[in-house]
Every structure is written in C-alpha cells, then in structure tokens.
Amino acid sequence: MGDQEEIRQDARATVPDGALVGVVGAGVMGIGVAQCFAEAGHPVVVTDNDPGALASGPARLRAGIRTAALLRRGDRRTAGGATGSRTESLVTWSASLADLADALLVVECVREDEDVKASVLRELDRVCRAEAIFASNTSCVPVARLGSFTGRPDRVIGTHFMNPAPLKEAVEVVRAPRTSALTLERTRAFLARVGKHALVVRDAPGFVTNRVLMLMVNEAAAVVGEGTADAETVDRIFQDCFGHPMGPLRTADLIGLDTVADSLEVLRRHTGEDRFRPCPQLARLVAEGSVGRKAGRGFHEYATPQHLVTRGGPGHD
C-alpha cells in the first residue's frame, strides 16, 4: 500500500448527513474532536465514566468554541457548519457506552493506557452497530494491537488528531494491515466533512509523529536536566534557528508531560528500545505534578492554568 494510495470509490463510503458520531473520553482531545464534528453539523455523543469530566464538559466545549472563533482567520467552517450555539446543542453527554449504539463513527480518545483502551474497545464492539468504525486517537499504540481487542479489526483505524483539534487541518491516519480499504475511504470522507485532510501512514509504534516527536522532547528534557541550557533557551533555538512555531518543551507542556511520559513508555514497550525511557528530568516533573499548561507549570510557567480534565477514569487522555 502506498502512503497516499488512491482507493477505488465506493458508494458505501459516503457519509450520510446527520450521521451520529461517538467520542469516548471527555478530556482535552475528546472535547476538541467532538467540537470538530459538531461544527460540521454532526450530532455527537461524548461518553466518560468520570462524573466530573461530564459535568465540566459543556463549559470546556463552550470555551473551545470561543477560542477557535477568535483564532481562526476568515470563515474556515465546512459547508453546512454550525454556529457556536448550534454546535453546543449538537453535543450530548453520557456515562454509558451503550449510548453510542447507533454511531457510524466512534473516536476513542481515552488515556494512553493499553489496558484502558482494550476495555473500551471490547465494550464498543459489543454495543455498536456492525458497520461502525472505531477510530483511535492513540498516540503510540499500534492500531493492529487495538484491532485485536475487537471482532472487527477491518473497521479499526488510527485517527491521530493534533492538539488543538479544531485548529489543526491535518490528521495522521494510521492503516493497520487488516484495516479495510472501505474503512479508510469512509474515514477520509468523515475527515473531509470537518475540513481535515488525512495523511495516511502505515502502522507502527508511534507512527510518524510521536515516533519522532517523543524522542525529541525526551532529549530536550535531558539537555535541561544536564544543565546544558534552560528550557527557554532550548525552545528559542528551535524557534529562531529552525523556524518552529514553538519549541519542543512548550509543545510538551501543551500535550501534557504526563501524556508524554505515558507515550514514551508505550513506545519502549512496543519497540523494546530503552532509548524511549523517560529521562530523569521529565520523570521528576511528572512526579511532582508539574505536567504542563493544564497545571500552570511544566518546563515553563503559565499565568492561567488550563483547567482541563485529562486524567482519572478510562474516559481521559
């Protein structure tokens, strides 16, 4: 399969207007993904087993809609897209995966823990319609491994949205060996409806983005820990010398240092390579709760913490 192979058009891949989309996990990425689909006019059900995440979800969604409206240049909504109030009205909240029974697409956005993902996928396989696609927003777990937890590996695919999801136009789409051409084509169609383009890659631990990014973050953290440079200087080097919009350590703070550490451990487990072990500086920050923007501090200090639910029960990432 070529990385960007053209797939024969299949009428079954057409996405019906008003097709229900499910999102599992009301954390940072789950809320962002829900916003993307609701803005395009799709009804969305967001599930989470943490009552606190569900209770705060509507306010966080509202804040995301306001932020996206301020940051977008021009009108980038897809045709038929919803206004802010309409977007909010299209999203409902539930503690039960059974409420995703009629979804045509379910995007799994739970924390980067293979056991948690396995539990969610097995239950989705039991309650969802036979033609439903399970799209995982996993950072590093191979999609073939996730598909093995279901009876429909041909309908399991990786859709690695970037943060913040409503503002990023590309999605790293991961096709496992058993992911069908129809699943890939329909996933592309769903993404096109929300104004995203798919960059299709083969399945492997960490795929392209995090196989490279997590190593870079870990090495940048090690440089700080060894005293070669402080975090501000490390990031300025990447910005001023390489033209990056933000350096690796501010990027890590945005992702969440706990998520970075989890992703590195997943990579280490699936590759068997010790180079993915979180360095002491990264591990120390996570242990003391300095996990990035959401905590108000990480490699950098932030005046206003992002009070976003990202940990706790299985519904988080």
In tens, the pLDDT along 200-225 reads 999 999 999 999 999 999 999 999 99
Distance (Å, rounded) from C-alpha 166 to C-alpha 158?
Answer: 18
User: Taking 50 as the threshold, does the pLDDT of residue 143 lie above it?
Assistant: yes
Determine what percent of the chain is predicted with pLDDT higher than 90: 81
Assess if residue 105 is contained within a domain.
yes
Catalytic residue among 108, 112, 160, 316, which? 160
Claim to verify: residue 139 and residue 261 sit in the same structural domain: no
Final residue of a structural domain among 152, 177, 202:
202
CATH at residue 90: 3.40.50.720
What is the domain count for the chain? 2
pLDDT for the residue 171: 98
Could you give the CA distance from residue 136 to residue 139 in angstroms, rounded to a whole number?
9
Same domain assignment for residues 20 and 113: yes
Q: Are residues 76 and 142 in the same domain?
A: yes
Provide the pLDDT for residue 40.
96
**Largest separation between any pair of C-alpha atoms in the chain:** 58
In a domain, 2, yes or no: no
Query: Are 127 and 241 found together in one domain?
Result: no
User: In sequence order, which residues have a C-beta less than 8 Å from that of residue 203 and are 6 or more positions away?
Assistant: 142, 143, 144, 158, 174, 175, 176, 177, 179
Neighbouring residues of 70: CB distance < 8 A, sequence distance ≥ 6: none
Alpha helix segments (H runs only) across the chain: 28-39, 51-71, 84-90, 114-127, 143-147, 181-193, 209-225, 231-242, 248-255, 257-271, 280-287
| Number of CB atoms found within 10 A of residue 168's CB | 13
Vertex 218: Cα angle to 216 and 220 (nearest 5) = 70
What Å distances lie between residue 298 and 76, 188, 307, CA to CA? 32, 35, 14
Computed over every residue of the chain, the mean pLDDT equals 90
The answer on 79 and 155 residing in a single domain is yes
Q: Same domain, yes or no, for 217 and 160?
A: no
Least confident segment among 70-79, 92-101, 137-146, 173-182: 70-79
Residues 256 and 274 in one domain: yes
Q: Are residues 153 and 286 in the same domain?
A: no
What is the pLDDT, as a whole number, of residue 84?
A: 80
Q: Helix or strand or coil: residue 297?
A: strand
Dump pLDDT digits (tens) for 40-92. Answer: 999 999 999 999 999 999 999 999 999 888 887 544 444 445 678 899 999 99
Considering the domain architecture, whether residues 182 and 127 belong to the same structural domain is answered as yes
Give the active site residue among 137, 139, 263, 290.
139
- What is the domain-level CATH number for residue 291? 1.10.1040.10
Window from 60-74, 83-97, 99-113, 270-284 with minimum mean pLDDT = 60-74
On whether residue 248 sits in a domain, the answer given is yes
* Active-site option among 49, 136, 137, 210: 210
Residue 215 lies inside a defined structural domain of this protein: yes
Spatial CB neighbours of 8, under 8 Å, sequence gap ≥ 6: 181
Predicted confidence band of residue 307 (pLDDT cuts 50, 70, 90): very low
In-domain check, residue 113: yes
210 catalytically annotated: yes
Domain region containing 192? 11-202
Asked which of 179, 202, 225 is the last residue of a domain, the reply is 202
- Active-site residue, 172 included: yes
Active site residue 307: no
Report whether pLDDT(309) > 80.
Answer: no
Catalytic pick from 39, 108, 112, 172?
172
In a domain, 25, yes or no: yes
304 pLDDT band, cuts 50/70/90, is low
Q: Report the distance separating Cα 248 and Cα 241, nearest Å.
A: 13
For residue 157, give both structure tokens. 């695919």
What's residue 69's pLDDT?
A: 87
Supply the angle between the helices 248-255 and 257-271 in degrees, to the nearest 10.
100
- From residue 237, alpha-carbon distances to 10, 138, 219, 246 in Å are 48, 29, 14, 10
Higher per-residue pLDDT: 14 or 94: 94
Using the 3D structure, point to which of 153, 168, 202 is the last residue of a domain.
Answer: 202
Are 197 and 232 found together in one domain? no
- Is residue 179, in this structure, part of any structural domain at all? yes
On the question of pLDDT at 306 being above 60, the answer is: no
